[in-house]
Structure 1
Amino acid sequence: MSTQTPEVTRLTERWDRFRAGRNTALASEHGWLTLTSFQWLPDAPSTVDGLPGLWSTDGTTAALTAGPDDSLTLVEGGAPVSGIITATLQDEESLLWVQSGSVVVELGMRANRYMIRTRDSQSATLTQFTAVPVFGYNPELVFTGIFERYPEPREVDITTANPEVPGTAVLVGDVVFELAGTTYRLAAEQGPLGSLIVTFFDDTNNVSSSHWRKVELTRPRPDGTVTVDFNRAINYPSAFTDYGTCPAPMDGNRINATIEAGERNPR
């Protein structure tokens, strides 16, 4: 006979719906599970591995030269690429630019350098995907914390999953909560619709979970309280692919405990 309380049953059902939505989003046709390469654009028109055409950048603008035999089309509108096309992005922006068969080429600006990544809808990571492995739902890893907003946002330097790509994080405050008698203070970024994003290390990293994870908290209540539900901890794209440039946590965002909740290491 089950001893699960009605409240835990309700929360578990909500978590199951969250997991189903997460798996559906990951399995999109040219989403994060389809990345198959990462290359910096050369300074002079040149070939790049695995793609037709000549690719280059002058530091400000990206350019691609291709002809009918290259069979490249624009992702937006589907027109064939003939001659020279260009695109200009700001740092951290991305554009699904051109397509060749099942492969879409993403143009991006990272650390003020132009890069391209290929996204192949026939990649084994996507075609063999069923669901992200997870720890079972654990109501004991749901906490009430306090959000302490900074007077002004703070921009800090961080590392990323790609050693050639330094990053920055804009932090808006600290989330303070207690776990196993220890008080933790984790820096948070602003998320959509007033939510908070906390990127963190814990003792499961590189053992049963990936190198780090993140958890989105709902908008703080009027009294500053927030729910910290580690069952909703998810992997960054770099957990699934070697071609991510995902932000690492600040050194201070380290939990000295095994957070066996949320997503496990998919690899």
Structure 2
Amino acid sequence: MSNWWYLAAPALPLLLPQAIWVKRTALRLPDAATPWQGLVPAPDGSVQAPLRLLLIGESTVAGVGVDCQQQALSGQLALQLARHLGRAVRWQAAGRNGAVAADCIRDLLPQVVDRQWDLALIVLGVNDTTHLTSRPRWRRHLQYLVEQLKDCTGQVMLTEVPPLGHFRALPQPLRGWFGLRAGLMNRDVQQVAAGQGAGYLSLDMPFEAAYLARDGYHPSAEGYRLWAAGIVRQLALSEPAASSVLGAG
């Protein structure tokens, strides 16, 4: 029996009705509008030798919470990387609202592995947490995603599982239990990153109302901007492998 079920079992009579209520009443926002790919010129207007950026994952890669991908994590990260590097960035978002890691393997990965990327971010964890994906299965899926992307990518990075304990749209004690489980799932992310030679990126943004969308669950445009800024800061300080990829022109 997993630690999660051992800890959650006494509260299941309360957690299950709360989970059903949240599923029925949660505000469901649409994906960001297309296009889900683009080219951000360098500050001097150059579009030569762009950094090839891929984001693959769940609803935040689909841009849920904002109107267009330029406001979402992919577009904001491309824009801020272009400014930071003084280099053009060609980006693509391969995301699905509600996706677990298995969905990415089956449906999203085949769309991107036939191309070459300089930097790929795997953005997953919320749905595997709430869908109660077992931790061994979660680790296997992450390992497979990293292995497949390493064959076509200069540097693969895994992002932190968002701290569901701070998601105000979730009632207590459900929020607390999901927050605990998200922390365990994030330990697995760090373990896989270390074992597979991938990078790890913490989620550096506040979870106050001003930085969340109307559903209280996904980032707002400002939240995505701050998240992207935190990623750029971490990449600038990351290990030589990532630095060499970002510096390659």
TM class by shorter chain equals under 0.3
Larger fraction in strand? 1
Greater Rg over alpha carbons, structure: 1
**TM-score w.r.t. structure 1 length?**
0.25
Higher relative contact order (CA 8 A, sep 6+): 2
**TM-score w.r.t. structure 2 length?**
0.26
